[in-house]
């Protein structure tokens, strides 16, 4: 108990004397805050992209692709195959019609609003069932495209990022002219970065014949997945794989998230070393400035271990303050900031918003505390080992 009371007294003393060392303490706090802000900003790119890719993931919705395909671009399904999977057990039905959406996927070019340079954007050919299977898609401006006509509806995110996608504009893709007749939203999901058209019109424009890239299926219940999957994989006429929607989109986001995480690790390590040396300098300065006080306390009976703990706690306190300031600053500056990047699986642009979430803030503060712990460790050992006779002679 005596040791704990000594530690508590020394910590209180350290905190009370912080105003006398405000310059060096502020430098350490600012350095750590800057590291944390950059760390959060970089990782929020991956968090935002991942959130956009998975936000629409529903446990009763599955994607069916050709076996071995790692994206829609590399998958091909024939019309007969889509008919077979529509008759498979476990598929949800409305008025006797299976909720199966065979879909085409092509990539087209449009100039970006920000740079005026061409970039890829996904164009999806759908059938009527698509709007039942993807119930989050709602036309909020204009009207849905008319079946059998060269008309398109455009996702809100795509409309914000690309030129020529406003209502009434004419587009030239493939062998056809297309008119923008509607803008749709999908709760911020990936489909908001796409252009939708009638699959029966899009297919001949790109000479796709009667093939599709993927089929999106609504199951009767989340528990119907295994029944549906077993029926398809055991059918010798089928050569497909089945994945839940959330799992499929999570895989699509893996490459970019890994790249961002790797870059964030390098940047944070380099900047963290600088902040760590700043914390070391701050704590060494604090120990040197308080050497006579520390020696006096030890002469009065305070143990070296208690002194060491108090110095470490001060370093951790400064690191926590810096981490909290940096995380809050990054949240205010970047959370919700909208941009677009390349989906490495389909090589098309995906619009998304930076996502500074609670999990990321906690990770950032932990990084700050590690910097503070390392930065305060050696000064704390020096304070604990400093001979009383030497410290009392220092000015």
Mean pLDDT over residues 100-121, rounded?
88
pLDDT digits (tens, 9 = 90+) for 261-318: 777 677 767 776 776 676 666 666 666 655 566 666 666 566 667 767 777 788 788 8
Nearest to 309 by CA among 22, 18, 25, 3: 3
Paired with 154 in beta bridges are 183, 195
Q: How far is CA 223 from the centre of its chain?
A: 28
Confidence of residue 103 (pLDDT cuts 50, 70, 90): very high
Q: How far is Cα 176 from Cα 121, in angstroms, rounded to an integer?
A: 17
CA of 160: how far to CAs of 113, 117, 256, 388, in Å? Answer: 8, 15, 22, 68
pLDDT digits (tens, 9 = 90+) for 315-370: 788 889 988 999 999 999 888 887 766 565 555 556 677 888 888 899 889 888 88
pLDDT for position 378: 73
| Residue 386, φ and ψ in degrees, nearest 5 | -65, 120
More confident site: 388 or 120: 120
> In whole numbers, what is the pLDDT of the chain averaged over residues?
81
Whether the pTM exceeds 0.75: the reply is: no
Q: Give 261-312 as a 3 state SS string.
A: HHHHHHHHHHHHHHHHHHHHHHHHHHHHHCHHHHHHHHHCCCCHHHHHHHHH
């Amino acid at each position: 108990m005596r040791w704990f009371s000594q530690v508590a007294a020394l910590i209180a003393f350290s905190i009370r004397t912080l105003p006398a060392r405000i310059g060096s303490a502020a430098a350490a706090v600012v350095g750590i805050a800057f590291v944390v802000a950059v760390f959060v900003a970089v990782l929020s790119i991956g968090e935002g992209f991942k959130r956009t890719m998975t936000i629409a993931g529903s446990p009763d919705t599955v994607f069916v692709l050709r076996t071995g395909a790692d994206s829609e671009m590399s998958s091909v399904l024939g019309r007969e195959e889509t008919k077979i999977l529509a008759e498979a057990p476990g598929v949800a039905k409305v008025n006797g019609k299976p909720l199966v959406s065979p879909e085409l996927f092509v990539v087209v070019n449009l100039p970006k609003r920000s740079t005026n340079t061409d970039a890829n954007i996904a164009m999806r050919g759908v059938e009527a069932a698509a709007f039942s299977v993807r119930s989050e898609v709602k036309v909020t401006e204009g009207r849905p495209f008319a079946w059998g006509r060269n008309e398109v509806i455009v996702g809100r995110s795509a409309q914000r990022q690309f030129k020529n996608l406003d209502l009434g504009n004419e587009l030239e893709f493939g062998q056809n002219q297309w008119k923008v007749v509607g803008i749709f939203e999908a709760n911020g999901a990936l489909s908001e970065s796409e252009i939708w058209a009638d699959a029966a019109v899009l297919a001949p424009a790109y000479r796709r014949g009667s093939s599709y890239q993927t089929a999106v299926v609504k199951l009767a219940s989340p528990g119907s997945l295994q029944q549906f999957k077993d029926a398809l994989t055991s059918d010798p006429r089928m050569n497909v794989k089945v994945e839940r929607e959330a799992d499929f989109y999570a895989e699509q986001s893996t490459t970019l998230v890994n790249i961002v995480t790797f870059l964030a690790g390098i940047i944070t390590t380099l900047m963290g070393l600088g902040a760590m040396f700043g914390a070391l300098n701050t704590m060494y300065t604090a120990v040197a400035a308080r050497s006579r006080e520390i020696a006096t306390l030890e002469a009065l009976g305070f143990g070296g271990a208690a002194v060491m703990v108090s110095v470490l706690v001060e370093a951790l306190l400064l690191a926590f303050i810096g981490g909290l300031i940096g995380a809050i600053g990054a949240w205010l500056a970047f959370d919700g900031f909208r941009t677009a990047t390349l989906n490495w699986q389909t090589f098309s642009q995906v619009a998304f918003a930076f996502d500074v979430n609670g999990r990321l803030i906690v990770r950032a503060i932990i990084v700050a505390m590690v910097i503070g712990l390392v930065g305060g460790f050696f000064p704390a050992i020096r304070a604990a080992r400093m001979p009383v006779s030497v410290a009392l002679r220092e000015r």
